[in-house]
Structure 1
């Protein structure tokens, strides 16, 4: 979902917060920034997910709202592939901060928090009625929403 929509038949359960970050090669001109507005990064080529990914739709929408074009150089299928392309100097990308820590490894990348309000996302789980979910589904929701797991 790109935002909250009215769904009276759904019970919304808070899951976790998620922050989007700009990922650059460690020698990139933006790499030393402590934070950045998304529209400032639009001067550079981007590496992103395929067109049907919700994150891509969000980035195109925000670029359009800023009156600038999102220069998409390459579109790939995974966060890992985005990071590898960025590592090789093919462009920059926007990714969820929590996925970056797994991907940075030896790739010599920098992550710069986006300071745009929309880059702070509240992720939720939507169910018709929690009480009527099968036991395994309730256990999954419980696991995902425990404080320990949601802090990942």
Structure 2
């Protein structure tokens, strides 16, 4: 198949979003007939109809909907390439993209990156960060979507290389008056009698908890699934469930909400994070400097 033309894809997305070729033409300052010609060529290129004509406009066919999703991704990637190149034109000496877990992002990564960028020698370096779950971080770094990934060291890295970063400590958070609230520590098995509020089930920590429960012949009861720790603590404050979260994240909000933090008495309660990448020898100078800075924050 021949290479897709980005201008045609951009017009195709606009037509799908407006549902009307004429309106898409007004948005792009192009006559409708020119757009129709491009779309016809695109349909010929892929070998299937992409738009269905309706009484008051057009809608994407099943094939068109699939192409629409891919086209948006391609256009987003093209826009990022343009921004990255503009940073060099403006005098930036490097650009680094990081994919990071919610734990790393919430606890320390943002502060560590900010400290790195505030150093006089690094002020011309640009760092972009995006939150992902651990499997997506590994896949994104492996596929070249980001230079660096920051995730839990329990993630399956495959052929990726890694350096040690920081660590945290998992604990149980419960509301006042809960049956576990007065305990000095708690075993994971003891928490399985209660409903949990959890992060997405494909995150590294949730996969680990499910496996730990399975080894005990039990299952983890998810009452609520959220995407961040702030939401999890709000659910606990409401008395709907308990949650297993890093102590480093929960200490401040727990004091405000009046929640109880109970250390988790398990050998895996201390988690270690890593900075991963495809090949250190192939890292850009900016990425290598950032890796060294983050590795210097490693906890024993």
TM-score (norm 1): 0.84
Cα deviation, residue 102, structure 1 = 4.2
In structure 2, what is the equivalent of residue 3 of structure 1?
154
| 1:18 matched to 2:161 | no
Contact 2:163 2:275 in 1 (8 A): yes
Structure 1, residues 82-128: CA drift from partner, whole Å, max 9, x if none?
A: 00000110110111222112432411111111111122222222223
Once residues 176 and 287 of structure 2 are traced to their aligned partners in structure 1, the CA distance between those partners, rounded to angstroms, is 42
Once residues 85 and 39 of structure 1 are traced to their aligned partners in structure 2, the CA distance between those partners, rounded to angstroms, is 21
| 1:69 matched to 2:234 | no
Instruction: Describe the SS at the equivalent of 1:61.
Output: helix
In structure 2, what is the equivalent of residue 31 of structure 1?
181
Contact 2:155 2:204 in 1 (8 A): no
Q: Any stretches of 5+ residues in structure 2 without a counterpart? A: 1-133, 135-152
Instruction: Describe the SS at the equivalent of 1:26.
Output: coil
Once residues 269 and 279 of structure 2 are traced to their aligned partners in structure 1, the CA distance between those partners, rounded to angstroms, is 29
Whose strand proportion is higher, 1 or 2?
1
For residues 142 and 102 of structure 1, do their structure 2 counterparts lie closer, same or farther at Cα, with a shift above 3 Å needed?
Answer: farther
In structure 2, what is the equivalent of residue 109 of structure 1?
259
In structure 1, what is the equivalent of residue 117 of structure 2?
none
In structure 2, what is the equivalent of residue 92 of structure 1?
242
Structure 1 segment 125-144 matched on structure 2, within 5 A:
125-144=275-294
Once residues 127 and 102 of structure 1 are traced to their aligned partners in structure 2, the CA distance between those partners, rounded to angstroms, is 32
For residues 89 and 63 of structure 1, do their structure 2 counterparts lie closer, same or farther at Cα, with a shift above 3 Å needed?
Answer: same
In structure 2, what is the equivalent of residue 54 of structure 1?
204
Cα deviation, residue 6, structure 1 = 7.3
| Structure index of larger Rg | 2
In structure 1, what is the equivalent of residue 269 of structure 2?
119
- Structure number with greater CO (CA < 8 Å, separation at least 6) is 1
Cα deviation, residue 53, structure 1 = 1.9
| 1:81 matched to 2:200 | no
May I ask how many residue pairs the two structures share in their alignment? 148
Once residues 231 and 288 of structure 2 are traced to their aligned partners in structure 1, the CA distance between those partners, rounded to angstroms, is 33
Whose helix proportion is higher, 1 or 2?
2
TM-score (norm 2): 0.45
Instruction: Describe the SS at the equivalent of 1:59.
Output: helix
Q: Any stretches of 5+ residues in structure 1 without a counterpart? A: none
Cα deviation, residue 5, structure 1 = 5.0
Cα deviation, residue 73, structure 1 = 0.8
